Structure 1
């Protein structure tokens, strides 16, 4: 009993019930005028990074959050041209919290603030920006983040909805990344289209689609570098772009490194089961370490002729390596028989995914357009596992699996715009070829206890 004499713990689980309440209110300015499309976020008082709930005020400035658990929170309201306001609130009942925003004198020189201008169409809302908004924004991504229901997620450092949902980004109708937005100067954004319902071709990609229309870009280089260093993991990314006329060449690299730490994860488990008339108990304590890294490399060439055609070819390579080492201390019982055991687990995974993506769209006369997209990818995953356990029924297992998959996706879309509706017709073909190679070396000893 060397292992389990160290600590005897009795854990009692007592169900706890927390009440939920509703909070609502209205966002107005100092002249008591409603502020529509203000971003409203609710944070736990102890965690001002992760949003609990998020929304945008409606046309009358109203907002509401339903089913909020009781507790202490920070209610944060932001809108371009006004000072961001953070209000501590204790939610222990249904409540009304109206908010008055003050004009930020550093952003404007006039009393009147020129707000967002929007035009609604059949399936989307198109936004343009004021000079004040453009001057304040660091880059294109920062400008777009001022739109209703959008913000920069401080944990992932990516554009996201205020309620944490992912966004599919398009630039001039072509799929793009968060880094691509950073490379666009704010004053080169013509307008932004936010779809109420994603177009059919993107219905499986994301719930929210944002299409950024740009003005002609200046010839020259642009770039962006980002990095974080932490005790548990580190992130870094670099994006470089060169533009000449209608041609654009972009290079992207990003990495995520999960460091190998001296501190180990501790896990315990208890199994009590019966086979026929035999009663078994299996208790264990496991210490484990996991580490690895991911790398993403991309090279993109595009040419865009406004109101004529768009062409893009993109090559991507994603790689990852993950490792896990674990040691187990085990107490095994079978009826009256009892023994202490040790075990180890070594797991290794390696993945390589190169992709080639070709896109072309053409605007035709009389509100017609066509587009096609071809994506080819190769998936190669290798996994090796070695698991051992001592004792009278000990074992030594080795397993190796290699999965290879080739995918080709082709898509053609025809669109026609009517006065009050859009017609989209298209075809998508999906072809897969899968290869799996498995090698298992098994040496397992069984003895009756």
Structure 2
């Protein structure tokens, strides 16, 4: 199986190498922007090209992750460059000449110097749009969002195309909750919505929306990846940023970040706190058909959800040489969510008209203590863009969950009640190695390895209320211990380049997965194993035409692995009317994802039109059946295929200078 994997990768590489063509005959100016002190790349710096003769603006670019930029299709002549970025002094480079004998001007490394201005007083210019489109992702520049001064990452995402947020702050990406959340390129061990609710908006520099990730990224998730890039302070000496926010319904939060930078050494420390309250009102109607009878239930009531989180982060950055970078970092935190619901019920059976009114009280509490430690290393070779990076991350989480459901008579006497608990640790180790090799003027080859290892234990217990003792009694047959182990090993290869106005990227990722679930209680002991190999191709294409017009298209194959509670092979009580049981034989969903986009830029404004189409194989759906009178049992099955089609339209216009 592994032999076939490597043969397939080799075939992909041989094929994409044939795409390379002659470079554009017009002039090119390129280079890499770096910090003058740390020598680290400066991402999102603005490069403007002007004619020396009349000082007219000719073209521009924005630096990528490695600080690189390349401006093509320049006519013969003399130009000058202006390089700007927040917190740095503007850099001007004069007398850059393009001629037949010097079509390519390589500026190599250009270093920007820090300004001593207070970051809060720097004016944000419109050189960079609030949302920037790249070949495989959207980048939201948070500093240009009005919501960046308060709230959390969720408040920023509410204004972003592709994102929907419900009344309780839960996020969906293109209609799906199946997405990953990364922080500075590192996955979080927490639930994606918990992560987004925790991070203060004021601590975020940029958010990347990657709906069709290339083979370089994890293929997990139907909808893709949301990568949150945290703010960093790059000024020399001791510096700090402090933010605080207050909102309605008792919402408040704050964060700070301090650092000390001296030459090639930097140490940083930050912390954040956030509280978010979501009250609401609900109505509930349910009909259960059993033989010739219909059990009807109507309920109305109020609910409230409270999320509280805090976290601290810190680390040390070292540049032992001009070409080497080391970062040792960590994060420690706590997250909890409390929910309460009070409902008035009316229940009756048809045919018949005998009503049975009662009350219900539901409460839930879920918390997680977590920490994460990471080691990052990168080495830049002599040739621009030639690099090797390595990353090791270990995450650990201890979760605790309590759910309580009470049915009360109208005089508040307890009729029936259940209580369930779930707790246990989870640990995850991630090792990643990436290599990038520039080829020629426009092409690039990337390859890498990654391992992901997870071990988790869950202790589930169910209790029934005993009116004789006025206490909750353990039910052993509904109490279980589950051990979960999963190992994933991956290799990927990508080739990308540009021929005149046509850009391309093709890649293949292979993943080997071993998963074992062991469940036991006082009556049974079961083990379920998966052992498989999967392949995930990706293709991204782009074409620039006329002036400031571009077309993009992409295809990727992805996977949505069943969540833990989908697999647990035992019954758990959700409330007095609903039971849930996992299915350990579930197959993962496989998604074929297609996208097309058109973009038009005009001065400081832009227009974009996107369409996407997804085919989901082995679609997982919840299947319900009557367990007892008016009690439903819910489980999960692979039901077949699912098709999803959608479009997005966005227009960004600055009507006046003061308009945001």
What corresponds to 1:222 in structure 2?
240
Task: Single out whichever of 198-207 and 311-320 deviates more from structure 2.
Answer: 198-207
Moved over 4 A (4+): 110-116, 119-122, 124-147, 153-162, 164-171, 173-184, 192-199, 201-216, 442-447
What corresponds to 2:305 in structure 1?
291
Q: Find 1:374's aligned residue among 381, 393, 396.
A: 393
What corresponds to 2:132 in structure 1?
148
Aligned residues: 324
- Give TM-score scaled by structure 1 length: 0.57
1:300 aligned onto 2:314: yes
C-alpha distance after superposition, 1:104-162 (max 9, x if no partner): xxxxxx9966974346899x968997449768985899677656353445455656695
C-alpha distance after superposition, 1:285-304 (max 9, x if no partner): 32123132321212211213
Q: Find 1:340's aligned residue among 356, 368, 375.
A: 356
Query: 1:30-41 maps to which residues of 2 (within 5 A)?
Result: none
Q: Distance in 1 between matches of 2:228 and 2:240?
A: 22
Which runs of 5 or more residues in structure 2 are unaligned?
1-45, 47-53, 72-80, 90-116, 134-139, 164-172, 174-179, 189-195, 468-575, 577-627, 630-660
Change (3 A) 1:140 1:308: farther
Q: Contact 2:200–2:274 (CA<8 Å) still a contact in 1?
A: no
Query: 1:133-144 maps to which residues of 2 (within 5 A)?
Result: 138=120
Task: Single out whichever of 299-308 and 174-183 deviates more from structure 2.
Answer: 174-183
Q: Distance in 2 between matches of 1:183 and 1:119?
A: 19
Q: Find 2:257's aligned residue among 212, 217, 240.
A: 240
What corresponds to 2:6 in structure 1?
none
Q: CA deviation at 1:326?
A: 0.8
Q: Contact 2:208–2:226 (CA<8 Å) still a contact in 1?
A: no
Query: 1:3-402 maps to which residues of 2 (within 5 A)?
Result: 116-118=60-62, 130-131=83-84, 138=120, 146=130, 148-149=132-133, 150-152=140-142, 153-154=145-146, 158=153, 162-164=160-162, 200-201=216-217, 204=220, 207=225, 217-231=235-249, 234-245=251-262, 246-258=265-277, 265-271=281-287, 273-277=288-292, 279-305=293-319, 307-336=323-352, 338-363=354-379, 365=381, 367-390=386-409, 395-402=415-422
The alignment partner of 2:323 has SS state of coil
Q: Distance in 1 between matches of 2:311 and 2:64?
A: 37
Q: CA deviation at 1:338?
A: 0.5
The alignment partner of 1:304 has SS state of strand
RMSD: 5.0
Change (3 A) 1:164 1:227: farther
C-alpha distance after superposition, 1:314-361 (max 9, x if no partner): 122132131213131314135335033212122121211312221221
Q: Find 1:426's aligned residue among 439, 446, 449.
A: 449
Q: Distance in 2 between matches of 1:126 and 1:301?
A: 33
Q: CA deviation at 1:363?
A: 0.8
Q: Contact 1:395–1:443 (CA<8 Å) still a contact in 2?
A: no
Q: Contact 1:348–1:383 (CA<8 Å) still a contact in 2?
A: yes
Task: Single out whichever of 336-345 and 295-304 deviates more from structure 2.
Answer: 336-345
What corresponds to 2:431 in structure 1?
411
Q: CA deviation at 1:382?
A: 1.4
Q: Contact 2:406–2:418 (CA<8 Å) still a contact in 1?
A: yes
Q: Distance in 1 between matches of 2:374 and 2:326?
A: 11
The alignment partner of 1:230 has SS state of coil
Q: Contact 1:228–1:234 (CA<8 Å) still a contact in 2?
A: yes
C-alpha distance after superposition, 1:64-104 (max 9, x if no partner): xxxxxxxxxxxxxxxx9xxxxxxxxxxxxxxxxxxxxxxxx
1:435 aligned onto 2:452: no
Q: Distance in 2 between matches of 1:275 and 1:433?
A: 40
Q: Contact 2:285–2:299 (CA<8 Å) still a contact in 1?
A: yes
Change (3 A) 1:438 1:168: closer
Q: CA deviation at 1:209?
A: 5.9
Q: Contact 1:286–1:329 (CA<8 Å) still a contact in 2?
A: yes
The alignment partner of 1:338 has SS state of coil
